[in-house]
């Protein structure tokens, strides 16, 4: 059995035939054992745990240490016991400081990697079982519901209004609707709607998928493979020390040769002159250089640890300080990775929504705007998410949680609304109609609350709510509302439209004769401290470039919000990166944002900037950011960047 290279492009029935599995029965126990022996465990291990001996030996791999070791050997050979002993003590202290510091960091990082053991529900031998995620094999039939983590790459064979959060893999800040139909074989990762990927999570709906890749064969695993195959290179400090060591060797050899020659020409004893020349050469070597460098780097490493940044190698601290270009992810790094309602649009106009949640006892800020309250009331009712308090994270689709949080600005709490308008029927979101609806008791009839894509809701609406009731929605008004939705989109907002209808029957068609209430614009807002951090980086002479998997319009909007400057207008999509890399440094210098970028393309960008002579750092919280950087780059959060670069500024 050969695993298909493009499972997203195959019909579900054909894929099951190639994988020799039935969706009704799943794999047998014997077949699972065979496939586990062939494909291995469903785990991703980027590197082996650092052994104590390996970390200790690493402290003696510097050219300066080699030079000092040779000097100590010569000193002992010629009876210079004090000189040789001093060098040995310096080397021991240097190794001890570096060993202890790196051991603590290595063990802390390994502890973090060990967190999060998961299980998966699969169908095997006709029965549903709960198994450890690492036991999944290609051909397993996995069953998924909202809230489940995806433990392997899967091709969907059944789907019921399923959406997934793929922000950690693709950079998309909103959930992605999934379906079972094949997509193009050359579709980019973010466009493979028939696939679920390891490391992502299901936010809504349910589905059944067949596992098509496990472990390092998954998309997440291939990101790790980029790390393993990348040339580790050396840090600027390591290169400088190596160059200094070579220069010291030649200088001491020349000095020793000159002194020895002068003595021999002057008639001195040859053995005495050779011994004196070697002793002079040993004395010329700076024994204190390694320990001074190690102490300086260790202090930097400890300071970074206090900023919650773990660094495995001491030399990476110097690399961090020498950075000239920062490639930063967007979702969760420049932004909060939390969808937030920013604008409301009703017939009476647009309203900016504050991101600050109302405090206990504070009068809701939107409660006095009648149309805004009605708009948010429909949005809160038409939801599957749960949020009891503004300071909670909530559960469910991120956009729906944002709507519930915005409802609190108008004094609307979902539990109270459902107590008043008990839900009787729910029409789940359907990618075909691009809408969802909930039916609620309302007096002697029923209230149908609808939300969805603006073009879909407007097509189903026949009237629009104004200040004193509802008026007919003609073609001119419909075009005007579509233009408002496009205006929101041009500003990087995700747009939803809300509508309603009162009916005497609960089971009537939900998407007919609707009354449009208004539009809601949402975004993943920029972190409040990011603009200052970017300004500090610029003052230190460091260029900041956004590299994200999200859409160009959204990326450009966030770039302007965080202060990327004029370069924020120059956005290059991932499919054009190869041509840009070939053009070299002049083309790279003008780009401020790279959008729709895959992990492999991020690594290509790192290499391109390094080839142009830049020292590159990457920052982010997703797998697409920190994993690809196997070369001498650094990854850290902006909370650590700002204090560090501010420390470089004059008082």
The per-residue DSSP string of 290-335 comes to: HHHHHHHHHHHHHHHHHTT---S-THHHHHHHT--EEEE-STTTTB
Give the pLDDT confidence of 117-132 residue by residue, as tens digits. 588 999 999 999 999 9
Q: How far is CA 349 from CA 260, 289, 378, 466, 517, in A?
A: 92, 68, 18, 10, 12
> Across the chain, which distance is largest between two alpha carbons, in Å?
122
- HEC string of 368-398 equals CCHHHHHHHHHHHHCCCCECCCCCCCCECCH
Q: How far is CA 337 from CA 100, 149, 241, 393, in A?
A: 36, 18, 41, 12
Domains, the chain, in order of start with CATH, read: 7-42+136-227 (2.70.150.10), 323-335+527-647 (3.40.50.1000), 340-523 (3.40.1110.10)
- Flag whether pLDDT at 506 surpasses 70: yes
- Flag whether pLDDT at 626 surpasses 60: no
Distance, in Å, from the CA atom of 294 to the CA atom of 99, rounded to the nearest integer, reads 10
Distance, in Å, from the CA atom of 485 to the CA atom of 352, rounded to the nearest integer, reads 15
Q: Give the model's pLDDT for residue 650.
A: 36
Per-residue confidence band for 548, with pLDDT thresholds at 50, 70 and 90: confident
Per-residue confidence band for 644, with pLDDT thresholds at 50, 70 and 90: very low
Q: Rounded mean pLDDT of 86-102?
A: 77
- What are phi and psi for residue 409, nearest 5 degrees? -65, -20
Q: Where are the beta strands (DSSP E) in 596-645?
A: 616-619
Answer whether 213's CB lies under 8 Å from 140's CB.
Answer: no
Q: Give the model's pLDDT for residue 25.
A: 93
Per-residue confidence band for 285, with pLDDT thresholds at 50, 70 and 90: low
Q: Rounded mean pLDDT of 256-278?
A: 73
Lowest mean pLDDT among 129-143, 467-481, 592-606, 624-638: 624-638
Give the alpha-carbon dihedral of 360, 366, 369, 370, to 10 degrees: -70
What's CA 362's distance to the chain center, in Å? 36
> Which residue is associated with the tokens 């003052």?
539
Ramachandran area for residue 171 (φ above 0: left; ψ -120 to 50: alpha; else beta): left
How many separate helices (H) and strands (E) can be counted in the chain?
A: 23, 21
Per-residue confidence band for 115, with pLDDT thresholds at 50, 70 and 90: very low
- Flag whether pLDDT at 62 surpasses 60: yes
Give the pLDDT confidence of 217-263 residue by residue, as tens digits. 998 888 777 666 655 566 676 677 677 767 777 777 777 778 778 87
User: Mean pLDDT in the chain?
Assistant: 81
Q: Give the model's pLDDT for residue 576.
A: 85
Lowest mean pLDDT among 15-29, 494-508, 632-646: 632-646
Q: Rounded mean pLDDT of 275-281?
A: 64
Q: Name every residue whose Cβ is closer than 8 Å to that of residue 75 and which is 6 or more positions away in sequence.
A: 81, 83, 84, 87, 279, 282
Q: Rounded mean pLDDT of 110-115?
A: 52
Q: What percent of the chain has pLDDT over 70?
A: 79
Q: Rounded mean pLDDT of 89-101?
A: 78
Q: What percent of the chain has pLDDT over 90?
A: 33
- Flag whether pLDDT at 621 surpasses 70: no
Q: Give the model's pLDDT for residue 49.
A: 58
Give the pLDDT confidence of 311-354 residue by residue, as tens digits. 666 667 767 778 889 999 888 888 888 889 999 999 989 988 87
Q: Give the model's pLDDT for residue 632.
A: 39
Lowest mean pLDDT among 90-94, 133-137, 232-236: 232-236
Degrees, nearest 5: CA angle 8-12-17:
110
What's CA 208's distance to the chain center, in Å? 26
Which residues are the active-site residues? 329
Answer whether 389's CB lies under 8 Å from 407's CB.
Answer: no
- Flag whether pLDDT at 386 surpasses 90: no
Per-residue confidence band for 646, with pLDDT thresholds at 50, 70 and 90: very low
Give the pLDDT confidence of 426-447 residue by residue, as tens digits. 998 887 889 999 999 998 899 9
Per-residue confidence band for 421, with pLDDT thresholds at 50, 70 and 90: very high
Q: Rounded mean pLDDT of 408-421?
A: 89
Rg over alpha carbons for the chain, rounded to the nearest Å, is 31
Q: Give the model's pLDDT for residue 585.
A: 64
Answer whether 522's CB lies under 8 Å from 552's CB.
Answer: no
- Flag whether pLDDT at 361 surpasses 60: no
Q: Give the model's pLDDT for residue 645.
A: 38
pLDDT, greater one: 252 or 371: 371
Burial of 434 (0-12, 13-18, 19+ CB in 10 A): middle
Query: Which of 12-16, 299-303, 328-332, 620-624 is most confident?
Result: 12-16
Which of helix, strand or coil describes residue 534? helix
> Which residue is associated with the tokens 């290279």?
5
How many residues appear in the chain? 651
Answer whether 184's CB lies under 8 Å from 132's CB.
Answer: no
Q: Give the model's pLDDT for residue 619.
A: 78
Answer whether 384's CB lies under 8 Å from 399's CB.
Answer: no
Instruction: Retrieve residue 571's tokens.
Output: 């956005």
Distance, in Å, from the CA atom of 324 to the CA atom of 339, rounded to the nearest integer, reads 32
- Flag whether pLDDT at 635 surpasses 60: no
Q: Give the model's pLDDT for residue 105.
A: 59
Q: Which residues pair with 120 in a beta bridge?
A: 131
Q: Give the model's pLDDT for residue 394.
A: 75
pLDDT, greater one: 10 or 254: 10
Burial of 528 (0-12, 13-18, 19+ CB in 10 A): exposed
């Amino acid at each position: 059995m050969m695993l298909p290279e493009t499972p997203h492009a195959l019909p579900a029935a054909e894929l099951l035939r190639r994988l020799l599995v039935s969706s009704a029965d799943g794999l047998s126990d014997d077949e699972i054992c065979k496939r586990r022996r062939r494909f291995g465990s469903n785990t991703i291990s980027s590197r082996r745990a650092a052994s104590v001996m390996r970390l200790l030996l690493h402290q003696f791999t510097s050219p300066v240490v080699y030079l000092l070791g040779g000097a100590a050997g010569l000193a002992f050979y010629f009876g210079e016991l004090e000189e040789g002993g001093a060098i040995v003590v310096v080397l021991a202290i240097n190794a001890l400081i570096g060993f202890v510091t790196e051991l603590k960091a290595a063990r802390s990082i390994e502890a973090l990697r060990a967190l999060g053991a998961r299980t998966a529900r699969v169908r095997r031998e006709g029965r549903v079982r709960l198994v450890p995620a690492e036991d999944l094999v290609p051909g397993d039939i996995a069953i998924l519901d909202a809230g489940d983590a995806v433990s392997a790459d899967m091709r969907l064979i059944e789907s019921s209004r399923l959406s997934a959060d793929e922000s950690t893999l693709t950079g998309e800040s909103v959930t992605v609707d999934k379906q079972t139909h094949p997509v193009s074989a050359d579709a980019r990762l973010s466009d493979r709607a028939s696939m679920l990927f390891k490391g992502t999570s299901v936010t809504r709906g349910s589905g059944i998928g067949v596992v098509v890749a496990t472990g390092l064969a998954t998309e997440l695993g291939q990101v790790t493979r980029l790390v393993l195959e990348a040339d580790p290179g050396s840090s600027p400090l390591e290169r400088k020390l190596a160059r200094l060591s070579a220069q010291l060797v030649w200088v001491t050899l020349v000095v020793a040769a000159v002194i020895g020659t002068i003595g021999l020409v002057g008639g001195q004893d040859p053995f005495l002159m050779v011994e004196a020349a070697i002793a002079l050469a040993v004395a010329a070597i700076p024994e204190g250089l390694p320990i001074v460098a190690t102490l300086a780097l260790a202090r930097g490493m400890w300071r970074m640890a206090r900023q919650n940044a773990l660094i495995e190698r001491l030399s990476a601290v110097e690399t961090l300080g020498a950075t000239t270009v920062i490639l930063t992810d967007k979702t969760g790094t420049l932004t909060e990775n939390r969808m937030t309602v920013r604008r409301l649009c009703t017939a009476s106009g647009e309203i900016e929504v504050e991101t600050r949640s109302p405090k206990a006892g504070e009068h809701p800020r939107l409660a006095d705007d009648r149309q805004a309250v009605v708009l948010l009331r429909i949005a809160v009712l038409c939801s599957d998410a749960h949020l009891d308090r503004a300071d909670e994270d909530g559960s469910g689709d991120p956009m729906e949680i944002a709507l519930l949080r915005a409802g609190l600005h108008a004094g609307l709490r979902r539990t109270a609304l459902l107590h008043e308008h008990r839900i009787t029927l729910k029409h789940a979101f359907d990618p075909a109609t691009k809408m969802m609806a909930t039916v609620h008791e309302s007096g002697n009839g029923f209230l149908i609350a609808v939300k969805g894509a603006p073009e879909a809701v407007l097509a189903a609406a026949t009237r629009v709510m104004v200040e004193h009731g509802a008026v007919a929605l003609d073609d001119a008004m419909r075009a005007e509302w579509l233009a408002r939705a496009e205006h929101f989109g041009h500003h990087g907002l995700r747009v939803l439209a809300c509508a309603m209808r009162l009916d005497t029957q609960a089971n009537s068609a939900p998407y007919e004769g609707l009354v449009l209430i208004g539009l809601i614009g949402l975004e993943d807002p920029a972190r409040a401290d990011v603009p200052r951090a970017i300004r500090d980086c610029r003052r230190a002479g460091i260029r900041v470039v956004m590299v994200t998997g999200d859409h160009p319009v959204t990326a450009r909007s966030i770039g302007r919000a965080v202060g990327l400057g004029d370069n924020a207008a120059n956005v290059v999509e991932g499919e054009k990166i190869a041509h840009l890399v070939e053009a070299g440094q002049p083309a790279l210098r003008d780009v401020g944002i790279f959008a729709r970028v895959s992990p492999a393309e991020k690594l290509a960008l790192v290499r391109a900037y390094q080839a142009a002579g830049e020292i590159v750092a990457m920052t982010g919280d997703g797998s697409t950011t920190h994993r690809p950087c196997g070369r001498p780059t650094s990854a850290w959060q902006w909370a650590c960047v700002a204090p560090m670069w501010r420390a470089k500024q004059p008082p």
